[in-house]
Amino acid sequence: MIRAENIYKNYGSLRVLRGLYLHVPPGCLCVITGPSGTGKSTLLNVLSGLDSFDQGRLYLNGQRVKGITNRRMAAIRRQYIGFIFQSYNLISSKNSIENVSLPLKYKGEGYFFRKNAAGKALESMGLEDKFYSYPHQLSGGQQQRVAVARALVTAPKILFCDEPTGNLDADSARLVMGGITKLRDSGSAVVMITHDMSMLSFADKAYRLENGILSEQ
C-alpha cells in the first residue's frame, strides 16, 4: 500500500532523510516516533506526496509517485488518502458538518449522503452536539476531533496522521484511536507520527526516526 525505497530528502546542505526504506501493507498501523526536529513531519509530507524528495522511489497504492503530474497526484490524494494534520486545517467559515463533509463533496457525493456520513463521523468522535458549531466556537481538542472525523469520513485506503492525539484528554484520545484502529482493521494502511509513546501499544509496526534514519522498534 505504501512503499518507500532509498528515500533521500535535503534542504540545502541539511540532509533530513538518509536512504529511508519503509513498507506499510494494507491493514497495518505504523507508528513513527523520534526527537523533535528530526524530520518526522517532513517524512509524513514526503510519504503522502505533499512534499518532493531528492532520490529514491515511492509507491502509493501501487502508483509510483515521482514523475507524475500535480493533477494526477491530487487525484490520488482525493481518491485514496486521508490526513489528520496537527494544525487541524479546518475552514473557519464552515461549521463542523460542512468541514467534515468537504472530502465527500470533492469525491462527487450527493448532499444528503454527505450530511449523513459527516454526522455519523462526528458522532463517532463524541461531537453529536457540535454539528453546527464553527471552529472558533470549539476548544482545541474539539477542533482536533472534527479534523479526525473529516479524515475518516471517506474511509481512505491510506491514512497519514501527525500527532492525532496530541491535544486531547484520555477519553477523547480513546475515541480517536478507536476510529483509526477501526479503519486499520477494515484493511487500510495507516502511518502515524507521534511523541506519545503509549501509542506504540496500537502499532503493528513501530519505528524511530533519528539523524534521518528509520530504525525498527
pLDDT at 12: 86
pLDDT at 134: 98
Asked whether residue 131 is domain-assigned, the answer is: yes
pLDDT at 29: 98
pLDDT at 33: 95
Asked whether residue 4 is domain-assigned, the answer is: no
Quote the pTM value: 0.92
Asked whether residue 138 is domain-assigned, the answer is: yes
Asked whether residue 136 is domain-assigned, the answer is: yes
pLDDT at 76: 86
Rounded Cα distance between 132 and 83, Å, is 22
Asked whether residue 83 is domain-assigned, the answer is: yes
Phi then psi for residue 66, to 5 deg, are: -65, 135
pLDDT at 19: 94
> How many folded domains does the chain comprise?
1
pLDDT at 69: 82
pLDDT at 85: 86
* Spans of the chain below 50 pLDDT: none
Asked whether residue 60 is domain-assigned, the answer is: no
Asked whether residue 59 is domain-assigned, the answer is: no
Structural domain boundaries, residue 105: 25-41+69-216
Rounded Cα distance between 188 and 26, Å, is 5
pLDDT at 37: 84
CATH of residue 74's domain is 3.40.50.300
Three-state DSSP class for residue 90: coil
Rounded Cα distance between 17 and 40, Å, is 9
Asked whether residue 87 is domain-assigned, the answer is: yes
Rounded Cα distance between 103 and 100, Å, is 7
